Amino acid sequence: EECARFDDCDFTGDSVIVTADPLLLRRLIRNLLENAERHGRPPIAVTLHKEADRAAIRVLDTGEGIPEAEREKVFTPFHRLGGDRPGAGLGLSLVRQIARLHGGDVAVWSDPSLRISGFRVDLPASG
């Protein structure tokens, strides 16, 4: 549903059951999609797969990515990459808080050989 709100956004994946607050999970996904739209480059790809007992969600684009030295800082409240970028610097902080509230976490993810970058969220999968 969240992908449908964005142009040039595709979803692929498996059916995975996650015990979570649906509004918070929707906010987590929307924040990542808004971040990709604002700071990345289309297309945006969202994937969902079950890996062992975890749901692995990736939100990726073909933008420049986040420099290695900034990868943990982007989750700090009010931190923004470059002073001229839009936003308050809260979106990724909220994503991490929501993921951790549900027993998961989020990290910057990239594959330079494929020229894609973005975020990977891992949450406990049920069943």
**For the chain, what are the domain ranges?**
3-124
Q: What is the predicted pLDDT for the residue at 87?
A: 64
Mean pLDDT (the chain, rounded): 89
| Average pLDDT, integer, range 49-62 | 95
Give residue 11's pLDDT band: very low, low, confident or very high (50, 70, 90): very high
Class of domain 3-124: alpha beta
**Who wins on pLDDT, 100 or 113?**
100
Least confident range of 35-49, 74-88, 96-110: 74-88
Q: Which of 74, 69, 68 is nearest to 36 (CA)?
A: 74
pLDDT at 115: 80
- Give the span between the Cα atoms of 89 and 61, in whole angstroms: 19
Residue 2 phi, psi (nearest 5): -65, -35
Mean pLDDT, range 65-86, rounded to an integer? 75
Contacts of 84 (CB under 8 A, 6+ apart): none
Is 84's pLDDT higher than 70?
Answer: no
Q: Indicate the pTM of the whole model.
A: 0.88
- 65 CB burial (10 A radius; 0-12, 13-18, 19+): buried
